[in-house]
Amino acid sequence: MKWVTYDAGAPGASGATGISFSPRTGLLTDDGIRGLPPGVTLLALLEDGALDDAATTARRDPAEVRALDEVRLLAPIPRPPSIRDGLSFLDHLRGCYRALGRPPELHPAWSQAPAFYFGNPAAVVGPHDDVPIAPGSRMFDLELEVGAVVGRPGRDLHPDTAADHVVGFTFFNDWTARDHQMRDMAQGIGMGKAKDMAITLGPALVTVDELEAYRGPDGYAFEVAATVNGREIAKGSLAGMDWTWGEQLAYMSRGTELQPGDVIGSGTVPGGCLLEHVDTPDPFAFTGWLAPGDVVSLSSEVLGETRQVVREAEPMTPLRTGY
* 138-153 pLDDT tens trace: 999 999 999 999 999 9
For 40, counting Cβ atoms within 10 Å of its Cβ (0-12 exposed, 13-18 middle, 19+ buried), the class is: middle
Structural domain ending residue among the three candidates 17, 41, 74: 74
Pair 60, 121 in one domain:
no
How many CA atoms lie within 13 Å of 184's alpha carbon, on the beta-carbon side? Answer: 14
Pair 46, 101 in one domain:
no
Per-residue pLDDT band for 17 (boundaries 50, 70, 90) equals very low
Per-residue pLDDT band for 16 (boundaries 50, 70, 90) equals very low
Q: Is residue 318 part of a domain?
A: no
Per-residue pLDDT band for 189 (boundaries 50, 70, 90) equals confident
Q: How many CB atoms lie within 10 A of CB 183?
A: 13
Residues 6+ apart with CB under 8 A from 71: 6, 7, 8, 9, 33
Lowest mean pLDDT: which of 101-105, 138-142, 266-270? Answer: 101-105
CATH of the domain at 206: 3.90.850.10
Q: Is residue 194 part of a domain?
A: yes
Q: Is residue 322 part of a domain?
A: no
Asked if residue 14 has pLDDT above 60, the reply is: no
Residues 6+ apart with CB under 8 A from 19: 9, 10, 13
pLDDT value of position 170:
98
**β-pair partners for 88:** none
d(CA 22, CA 145): 28
User: Nearest-CA neighbor of 111 among 86, 84, 90?
Assistant: 90
User: Nearest-CA neighbor of 88 among 262, 251, 211?
Assistant: 251
Pair 51, 127 in one domain:
no
Asked if residue 10 has pLDDT above 60, the reply is: no
Pair 137, 259 in one domain:
yes
User: Nearest-CA neighbor of 165 among 128, 208, 103, 125?
Assistant: 208
Q: Report the mean per-residue pLDDT for the chain.
A: 92
The percent of residues above 90 in pLDDT, for the chain, comes to 81
pLDDT value of position 13:
43
Q: Which residue has the higher pLDDT, 125 or 103?
A: 125
Mean pLDDT calculated for residue range 290-318: 96
Q: Which residue has the higher pLDDT, 264 or 181?
A: 264
Largest separation between any pair of C-alpha atoms in the chain: 61
Asked if residue 243 has pLDDT above 50, the reply is: yes
Pair 65, 100 in one domain:
no
Taking a C-beta distance cutoff of 8 angstroms, is the pair 246, 88 a contact? no
> What is the domain count for the chain?
2
User: Nearest-CA neighbor of 136 among 196, 188, 187, 222?
Assistant: 196
Mean pLDDT calculated for residue range 72-91: 96
Residues 6+ apart with CB under 8 A from 295: 228, 229, 230, 307, 308, 309, 310
Mean pLDDT calculated for residue range 6-30: 69
Q: Is residue 321 part of a domain?
A: no
Asked if residue 19 has pLDDT above 50, the reply is: no
For 36, counting Cβ atoms within 10 Å of its Cβ (0-12 exposed, 13-18 middle, 19+ buried), the class is: buried
Owning domain of residue 125: 83-311
pLDDT value of position 216:
83
Pair 48, 136 in one domain:
no
Structural domain ending residue among the three candidates 74, 94, 126: 74
Q: Is residue 319 part of a domain?
A: no
Pair 159, 39 in one domain:
no
Q: Please report, as a single letter, which amino acid is at residue 98.
A: R
Strand pairing report for 223-228 and 295-300: antiparallel
